[in-house]
Amino acid sequence: MSRALAEPMPLANITGLPPVSRLLVEAGLLLARWDDRRRTRNALTRLDAHLLSDIGLTSVGRDMESARPFWRG
């Protein structure tokens, strides 16, 4: 399973970039977070009951989390 991005990745002062560049960097980071959520939620569907209990989830919790759209945090 991939490492979840709880917080935006720190960048070396993107506020100093031109507006269009800053927008592109922020869009790229957003797409990366969405992809990470999609892959992580997809991986949850493949875990058996033993592994779910190891991470503190039930099958109901897994189903609820994996049903969430990737754009919702």
Q: What 8-state DSSP symbol labels residue 68? A: S
- Interior/surface letters 25-59, b for 16+ CB within 10 angstroms, e for the rest: eeeeeeeebbeebeebbeebeebeeeebeeeebee
pTM score, two decimals?
0.71
Asked if residue 8 belongs to a domain, the reply is no
Q: Is residue 2 part of a domain?
A: no
Look up the domain containing 56 and give its range.
17-67
In-domain check, residue 47: yes
Predicted pLDDT of residue 16: 85
Quote the radius of gyration of the chain (alpha carbons, Å): 16
pLDDT at position 1 is 47
Q: Which helix (H) or strand (E) holds 52?
A: helix 49-54
Tell me the per-residue pLDDT of 29-64, one tens digit each, with 9 for 90 and over: 999 999 999 999 999 999 999 999 999 999 999 999
- Number of structural domains in the chain: 1
The whole-number pLDDT of residue 11 equals 61
Q: Are 38 and 68 in contact (CB under 8 A)?
A: no
Residue 14: predicted pLDDT: 80
Inside any domain, residue 11? no
Tens-digit pLDDT profile for residues 1-38: 455 555 555 566 788 889 999 999 999 999 999 999 99
